[in-house]
Structures are given as structure tokens and as C-alpha cells.
Amino acid sequence: MDVERPKLEGTVAVGEGRRLGFAEFGSAQGRTVFWLHGTPGARRQVPIEARAFAERNHIRLIGIDRPGIGSSTPHIYENVLAFSDDLRIVADTLGVDRMAIVGLSGGGPYTLAAAYALRERVVAAAVLGGVAPVVGPEAIDSNLMKLGTFVAPALQTAGVPIGVAVSAAIRVVRPFASPIIDLYGRLSPEADRRLLARPEFKAMFLDDLLNGSRRQISAPFSDIVVFTRDWGFRVSDVKVPVRWWHGDTDHIIPIEHGLHMVDLLPDAQFHHLLGESHLGGLGASEEILTTVLELWDQD
């Protein structure tokens, strides 16, 4: 299945010789929703259904490359909060005043950081199976992030070279990318397997992976380093309305982490995705966008 290219792609200078890549879908004149990809992922990791919904409902839907993927310059943030400074510059450059933000998995912490730091501009936030803090007073135990904490010191210095090597390896196996996605699906929980078997989702993931990894793929390693640090803000200080979607068979971020986060957030609601796993939120993209628009209307 062919995936239509974004309506607009480019990069924005965010200071210190760095740039962030972006991809725009939907209506250029509509209300803006930033869509923050997972770990791994890049600016085109936006479901086809979300793109079509944005077109029909006059939404300006913008995906952002984090540093070290796609067209973005490699960089490790001091903490999760530091990303919000870059997002502010991207929004200013693209002429965005008010916005909603959606973040999948590793995009979740950055979504909450922007909601905290840009609260005068962010009207609503949605998190889909997001990562929770593993250090500080709001931390929750995580086997996956224990491993991340162990490898983080090495990734801080070796993440970029590893990313270049991984990018080169992906170029070699590019002709086999589709069967590799199929293999990943077969090894995934049933719910994610069903999602990846849908042609439009598989095509979106392939397009995002192959496009985002052409030059580099150090962003996932940088994410791990940053997630194992104090985030630079407290989740309980995020006053913007947050809606959280989480599958109860999530094998990467347990549903208990999502419930923990919603308990911490002052204005949050939990959407239980019955029988869904880590990618389940992507299958609910129309519901998610509808929800953030309703919150926008109430603002």
C-alpha cells in the first residue's frame, strides 16, 4: 500500500546549530495538533486514519522528529523539559499560537513537558501508553527502564555512532523491511499483531522507519538517556487537561504505569483500551483527536 507524502516537510533551526524536522498533514489553516512519535519513530509516525481525520475536520497535524532521527540534528537534552524550548521555537516559526499535543510511548514524557512549560499555549494533551518517571518522588519501578539506566552511561557517548551503524544496517536490509515488520508482528501480543496486519498501519510504519532512518537513528538511544534522568518538572504540576489511553495487555509499558500517571496529574482521565497492547492508542486516533478538539472547544 502506498502512503501519501506529507503536505509539507522541512526543518526548523532551534539554536546551537541544531535543526528539528517536521511533517505536516491535514489543513494548513486549521487548529494545530502536534503529534510526537514513539521510541523509536520519526515525524511520519502518524496513523493514516489520523491524517484523513485531520483533512476532513480542518486540523493542522504536525509530526516532529526528535534529535537524532530523520532531518533532526543529533542532540541529548539535559532533561525531558528541555524539549519544550525547541517545540516553542518550532511553533513560533510555523506560526502556531495555540496547540494540542499527542504523544505515543516515548513521546509521552515530552508531551507532558510541553504541557507544563507552554501551559499558556497548550489547550489539551493526550498520551498513548506513555513512559513514566523512573527517578524522583513520582517514580514507578520499571524493568525496562532498569535496563535503560544500566546502559545509559554508554549510550551518552556511543549513541550517535551506534545510530549511524544502525542506519547503515537498515539501508542494507531495506528490501526485507516488509517481512521484518511481519516478523515483529508475529512476535508481538495479539492486539499489536492485528494492528500491524492492517495494510495502512504497516505501510505507515514502513514509510516512517525507512524515511526516518536514512541518515541516522540515534534518537531512541538519546531518549533512553534522558528518560533515566530527573525530567526537570513534576508531573503533578501539569495543569493542562490530559487524557491518557493505555492497553491492558501492553507488554512494554504496563498499564499500571498509566494509572500511576493519571493519579499524579491534576486534570486527567484514563481511557482503558480493553484487550489492546502497546500500539493500541494508534488504532484509536480518531477518538483521540475528537477528544482533544472537544477539550479545545471547552477552553
What local confidence, expressed as pLDDT, does residue 276 receive? 96
What local confidence, expressed as pLDDT, does residue 161 receive? 67
| Model pTM above 0.85 | yes
What local confidence, expressed as pLDDT, does residue 233 receive? 98
Predicted confidence (pLDDT) per residue in 19-63, tens digit:
999 999 999 999 999 999 999 999 999 999 999 999 999 999 999
> Cβ distance 87 to 65 under 8 Å?
no
Distance CA 208, CA 41 (A): 7
28-37, 51-60, 130-139, 140-149, range with the lowest pLDDT:
140-149
The continuous run of DSSP H or E covering 10 comes out as: strand 8-15
Distance CA 299, CA 295 (A): 6
Name the residue with cell 494492528.
Answer: 195
pLDDT band for 170, please (50, 70, 90 cuts). low
Residue closest to 281 by CA, chosen among 76, 79, 36: 36
